[in-house]
Chains A and B, each alone.
Chain A
Amino acid sequence: MAPVVKVEGLRVTARDGRGQQNVIVNDVSFEVNSGEIIALIGESGSGKTTIALSLMGYARSGTRIAGGKVTFDRREILSLTQRELSSLRGRDIAYVPQSAAASFNPAKPLLKQVIESSQIHRVMAPAEARAKAVSLFRELGLPNPELLGTRFPHQVSGGQLQRLLAAMALVTDPKLIIFDEPTTALDVTTQIEVLRVFKKAIKERGRTAVYVSHDLAVVAQMADRIIVLRDGAIQEVNATQYILTAPKSDYTRTLLAAAEPQARAVTRQASGTAAASVIEVKNIVAGYGARDREGFPAVPILRDVSLAIRPGTTLGVIGESGSGKSTLARVIAGLLPAARGEVQLNGVALPKSAAARTRDQLRRIQIVFQMADTALNPARPIGRILGRPLEFYHGLRGARRARRVAELLEMVRLPATMAERYPGELSGGQKQRINLARALAAEPSLILCDEVTSALDTVVGAAILDLLVELQRELGIAYLFISHDLSTVKAICDEVMILYAGQIMEHGTRGALCQRPLHPYSELLISSVPELRQGWLEGISETVLKEASGGIVRRAGAACSFFERCSLRIPGRCDVEPTPLRRFSKGADIRCQRTETELIELAAQRDANEISGRPEISEPRDFGPGRGAQLIAW
């Protein structure tokens, strides 16, 4: 049987700022067979999205398909007219983009957008299309399938929008579906469900799909075959199992190594315990909206959060989006004054609002944001961006300032000549280094790192993490490291705090998070991270699936926020009584009504049920006391 897609010698060029043509995809050839899911994997700049879009004969503005041949369904795509391409797109080839929130038109109801392609191509009557969309909503596990279509994009969660995009792609029964990083923007817990419905929908229909991703563990769940790309050229093509177990190219091996978590932080021994905390946060309550009579905000984001960080150590804060991680950083920095509670710097209480803090207090706490791009003024050269805090905090001018800028660039491992360049000329990783240097310019005691590596590729992000660790060793800075990614937090943090709906669920040393008993929510987060082996997605237990599918529900009062999703809940107690934060013997504080022994027993029971219920699992995990060793591998 002829392949559905055949790409031969594809070449795509892009015009850079000086008007020169750079080759971004060079001589790429591959085939996609009918009923196959093929993955394009690589870092940003590897050309994976560009290749996927050329399958639809589409080149983003500034890029041009310069040569090669793309055959789809016996038609030569690159020689079709715009009109012919339009009649193909959305009918025979459908596209599922990365950012669901941005890909829906904010002004139109969802159903209209989902069935739009069927109406453009007139493949079915509107009523028929609507009925089909509703049945797809039901199949994709969307809530309220009949009424969902009347809602607008902003009224629906990210995971639901991503599934709606899949419905949009499937409504015309296309021969080929292109998924472009469809779960990258989602939380791990949401990702599980989306991946499962995607895979089921494709496999049941026997559809052909191209799956673009940078995440090897996700691709391992989805693809039959993997194409590894780098700098616009193919490094390796092979069946998924061989890529994972017997990679041939060096680059594939590098990718596999980067996907394996590794500890970067130097383990500091008990010597630090005596040292006074650089920052101490006590019983913070913060949120948005009007305050009631007791000063409680209408939308509480943080509820009674306390923490302390010693000099030269890192506290990781982890949780799903909406858990209040960034709000915590904003409260400490004084950008959002807390409604209640106190932030102490070296034992002295700080004014709640940044405006009321002294210049020296401001200097000691610095933030580095996720979006390296938007945090740098594009109209200022790097030298001036770094010179500004030097002047503001230290009064440095002229040659001394220039010398210090050079030193800062040296610290973040960038050449001193970088000072004359503009942010637009830098790569994402370089920009994040500049942001770090800008924070270091103040000579802070604490840096709040808000998802600093989330927007970066694995390899680039890993280098930034290494840099952070080195700087900490040299300068003794403390970090508050916010992330949604467990393995990142695991790699560099001494202590980890798990936040859910603004409540601390578990707070302990990094080692303690690898041992049971765990808070049910910690357990969920850990089992939601995709593992680098085939069959992980299918082997997820029902309990995890059920817990993962619930969204964050904010509750008032001191009862447990995780109640709605928890599989170990005690109705009548967990949702009514204030949940105690208990010290467990493994060295962690856990907020749960269940005692230490109860949690250990219940976890063992649950694992036993899973094994008996799923004899088909090929590699049964080692449970019971040995589970600790298993967990360390995440």
Chain B
Amino acid sequence: MAMLTLGFVSMAVFAGTEILPGDVAEAVLGQNATPEAVAGLRHALHLDYPAHIRYFLWLIGIFSGDAGRSLANNLPVTELIASRLPNSLMLASVTAVVSVPIALTLGISSAIWRGSFFDRAASFLTMSVVAMPEFLIATLAVIIFAVNLRWFPALSYAAGMVSINQFFNQFALPVFTLSCVLIALMMRMTRAAVIDTLRSPYIEMAVLKGARPIRLVLTHALPNAIGPIANAVALSLSYLLGGTVVVEIVFGYPGLARLLVDAVSNRDMPVVQACVMIVCSAYLFLVILADIAGVLSNPRLRYR
């Protein structure tokens, strides 16, 4: 199933890059190139083959472990990815470690005290954050923390991490920006999932057994909400690999998303394909993890 999804996505991406006007030869040689030069480069890059042949060539390459070379600068795709993927993974994991616990705590406590001042305040805040464009948050963060307060550097290169201090300095602003949006999303979905299970008859039964609100949520509602919560978390986190373009550009962070965007503008098909495959696999991996969590938390699926 997962393999099928990957295959379908790769075809969609390939078709997408085909539809875009222009190709890598025009992009590399620029506007003043002669038609002969463009044709020559196309021939050299096998771009004059029909589209389906090129797709199958790429597919054969992938299956034999060769992702091909970048059409734009002739570097092996694996090398390009290898230079960016660890950065992206690092940013993603730090953000996940920061945002998931905060989001779950906020979501669950909002559900416990739903309708209270705390819940309303949290709702208002998260709604505002979700409504705010990411680049605005990033820019505001730079203006406040880097320019005015001078706490952190405005750019983060993710290179040469030596001390905890440096590490913190590098990641503080990008992680803060990404966390804002993620926490808001995950918190709202957690709250909705828990409140949804709070409407079940067994919750009323627990109330009539004398259970207090905290017990209701933690021992009765939460175990039944793990499935939907895990899915919400997986969906949010999958965004951390491919969807961080804005943050990477604002902070000059050398991650996967920027590589992908550059490759698209160069019509650099092998690089685009490789990046998309990685993002897609990460997404599938997270969703499978979420499903496993859902099954483990549900005795009806665990014991038949």
A residues whose Cβ falls under 8 Å from a Cβ of B:
53, 56, 58, 60, 83, 86-91, 94-95, 97, 99, 102-109, 116-117, 120-121, 152, 154-155, 168
- The answer on a CB contact under 8 Å between B210 and A58 is no
- The answer on a CB contact under 8 Å between B207 and A89 is yes
* In the complex with contacts A97-B201, A108-B223, A116-B297 CB distance below 8 A: no
1/0 contact string of B209-225 vs chain A (CB within 8 Å):
11110010001100110
- The answer on a CB contact under 8 Å between B212 and A86 is yes
- The answer on a CB contact under 8 Å between A90 and B208 is yes
* Interchain CA distance A105-B219 in the complex, whole Å: 10
How far in angstroms is the closest Cβ of chain A from B62? 36
- The answer on a CB contact under 8 Å between A104 and B202 is yes
1/0 contact string of B255-276 vs chain A (CB within 8 Å):
0000000000000000000000
> Is B87's CB within 8 Å of the partner chain A?
no
How far in angstroms is the closest Cβ of chain B from A120? 5
Given contacts A58-B208, A104-B205, A121-B210, could you give 6 more A-B pairs where the C-beta distance is less than 8 Å? A86-B210, A86-B211, A99-B201, A106-B224, A117-B209, A120-B212
What are 9 sample pairs from A and B whose C-beta atoms fall under 8 A apart? A53-B208, A60-B204, A88-B210, A90-B210, A99-B201, A102-B200, A107-B298, A120-B212, A152-B300
Residues of chain B contacted by A53 (CB below 8 angstroms): 208
- The answer on a CB contact under 8 Å between B208 and A89 is yes
How far in angstroms is the closest Cβ of chain A from B249? 44
* In the complex with contacts A86-B210, A95-B208, A120-B209, A106-B215 CB distance below 8 A: no
Residues of chain A contacted by B211 (CB below 8 angstroms): 86, 90, 116, 120
A89 nearest in chain B by CB position:
B210
1/0 contact string of B268-304 vs chain A (CB within 8 Å):
0000000000000000000000000000011110010
How far in angstroms is the closest Cβ of chain B from A418? 30
* Interchain CA distance A83-B214 in the complex, whole Å: 12
- The answer on a CB contact under 8 Å between A105 and B208 is no
- The answer on a CB contact under 8 Å between B298 and A120 is no
* Interchain CA distance A89-B204 in the complex, whole Å: 12
Residues of chain A contacted by B209 (CB below 8 angstroms): 89-90, 94-95, 116-117, 120, 168
Residues of chain B contacted by A90 (CB below 8 angstroms): 208-211
- The answer on a CB contact under 8 Å between B205 and A97 is yes
- The answer on a CB contact under 8 Å between B212 and A107 is no
Identify B210's interface contact among A106, A120, A152, A154, CB under 8 A: A120
Identify A107's interface contact among B201, B204, B210, B223, CB under 8 A: B223
* Interchain CA distance A412-B206 in the complex, whole Å: 42
Residues of chain B contacted by A89 (CB below 8 angstroms): 207-210
Residues of chain A contacted by B220 (CB below 8 angstroms): 105, 108
- The answer on a CB contact under 8 Å between B206 and A116 is yes
Most-contacted residue by chain A among B200, B205, B208, B299 (CB, 10 A): B208
Residues of chain A contacted by B206 (CB below 8 angstroms): 105, 116
B203 nearest in chain A by CB position:
A105
Residues of chain A contacted by B200 (CB below 8 angstroms): 102
Residues of chain A contacted by B299 (CB below 8 angstroms): 106-107, 109, 152, 154
A178 nearest in chain B by CB position:
B208
How far in angstroms is the closest Cβ of chain A from B206? 7
* Interchain CA distance A60-B201 in the complex, whole Å: 11
- The answer on a CB contact under 8 Å between A87 and B210 is yes
- The answer on a CB contact under 8 Å between A117 and B298 is no
* Interchain CA distance A94-B206 in the complex, whole Å: 11
* Interchain CA distance A521-B200 in the complex, whole Å: 37
Residues of chain A contacted by B212 (CB below 8 angstroms): 83, 86, 120
B contacts with A, residue count (CB < 8 A)? 22
A60 nearest in chain B by CB position:
B204
* Interchain CA distance A87-B208 in the complex, whole Å: 10
Shortest beta-carbon contacts, A-B, top 5: A90-B209, A90-B210, A107-B223, A152-B299, A102-B201
* Interchain CA distance A55-B210 in the complex, whole Å: 14
Residues of chain B contacted by A91 (CB below 8 angstroms): 210
Residues of chain B contacted by A106 (CB below 8 angstroms): 202, 224, 298-300
* Interchain CA distance A56-B303 in the complex, whole Å: 36
- The answer on a CB contact under 8 Å between B300 and A154 is yes
Residues of chain B contacted by A99 (CB below 8 angstroms): 201
- The answer on a CB contact under 8 Å between B207 and A103 is no
How far in angstroms is the closest Cβ of chain A from B288? 21
* Interchain CA distance A87-B220 in the complex, whole Å: 18
Residues of chain A contacted by B223 (CB below 8 angstroms): 105, 107-108
How far in angstroms is the closest Cβ of chain B from A301? 18
B residues whose Cβ falls under 8 Å from a Cβ of A:
200-202, 204-212, 215, 219-220, 223-224, 297-300, 303
* Interchain CA distance A109-B300 in the complex, whole Å: 11
How far in angstroms is the closest Cβ of chain B from A559? 27
How far in angstroms is the closest Cβ of chain B from A65? 15
Most-contacted residue by chain B among A58, A87, A120, A168 (CB, 10 A): A120
Residues of chain A contacted by B297 (CB below 8 angstroms): 107
Residues of chain B contacted by A83 (CB below 8 angstroms): 212
Residues of chain B contacted by A56 (CB below 8 angstroms): 208
How far in angstroms is the closest Cβ of chain A from B171? 37
How far in angstroms is the closest Cβ of chain B from A327? 21
B211 nearest in chain A by CB position:
A120
Residues of chain B contacted by A105 (CB below 8 angstroms): 202, 206, 220, 223-224
How far in angstroms is the closest Cβ of chain B from A608? 47
* Interchain CA distance A238-B212 in the complex, whole Å: 38
Residues of chain B contacted by A168 (CB below 8 angstroms): 209
* Interchain CA distance A120-B200 in the complex, whole Å: 20
A108 nearest in chain B by CB position:
B223
Most-contacted residue by chain B among A87, A95, A168 (CB, 10 A): A95
Most-contacted residue by chain B among A91, A116, A117, A168 (CB, 10 A): A116
* In the complex with contacts A87-B210, A120-B211, A120-B215, A103-B205 CB distance below 8 A: yes
Identify A117's interface contact among B210, B300, B303, CB under 8 A: B210
* Interchain CA distance A90-B216 in the complex, whole Å: 14
* Interchain CA distance A56-B211 in the complex, whole Å: 13
* Interchain CA distance A168-B211 in the complex, whole Å: 14
* Interchain CA distance A58-B208 in the complex, whole Å: 8
* Interchain CA distance A56-B207 in the complex, whole Å: 10
Residues of chain B contacted by A94 (CB below 8 angstroms): 208-209
* Interchain CA distance A24-B202 in the complex, whole Å: 24
A104 nearest in chain B by CB position:
B202
* Interchain CA distance A60-B207 in the complex, whole Å: 11
Residues of chain A contacted by B219 (CB below 8 angstroms): 108
* Interchain CA distance A87-B210 in the complex, whole Å: 6
Residues of chain B contacted by A107 (CB below 8 angstroms): 223-224, 297-299
B220 nearest in chain A by CB position:
A105
Residues of chain A contacted by B201 (CB below 8 angstroms): 97, 99, 102-103
Residues of chain A contacted by B208 (CB below 8 angstroms): 53, 56, 58, 89-90, 94-95, 97
- The answer on a CB contact under 8 Å between A103 and B202 is yes
B201 nearest in chain A by CB position:
A102
How far in angstroms is the closest Cβ of chain B from A116? 6
* Interchain CA distance A155-B301 in the complex, whole Å: 11
B209 nearest in chain A by CB position:
A90
- The answer on a CB contact under 8 Å between A152 and B202 is no
- The answer on a CB contact under 8 Å between B207 and A58 is yes
A168 nearest in chain B by CB position:
B209
Residues of chain B contacted by A58 (CB below 8 angstroms): 207-208
How far in angstroms is the closest Cβ of chain A from B146? 47
* Interchain CA distance A116-B207 in the complex, whole Å: 11
Residues of chain B contacted by A154 (CB below 8 angstroms): 299-300
* Interchain CA distance A91-B208 in the complex, whole Å: 10
A53 nearest in chain B by CB position:
B208
Identify A102's interface contact among B202, B215, B300, B303, CB under 8 A: B202
How far in angstroms is the closest Cβ of chain B from A452? 24
Residues of chain A contacted by B303 (CB below 8 angstroms): 152, 155
A112 nearest in chain B by CB position:
B219
A154 nearest in chain B by CB position:
B300
* Interchain CA distance A106-B300 in the complex, whole Å: 7
B202 nearest in chain A by CB position:
A105
* In the complex with contacts A106-B298, A107-B224, A107-B299, A95-B210 CB distance below 8 A: no
How far in angstroms is the closest Cβ of chain B from A422? 22
How far in angstroms is the closest Cβ of chain A from B263? 46
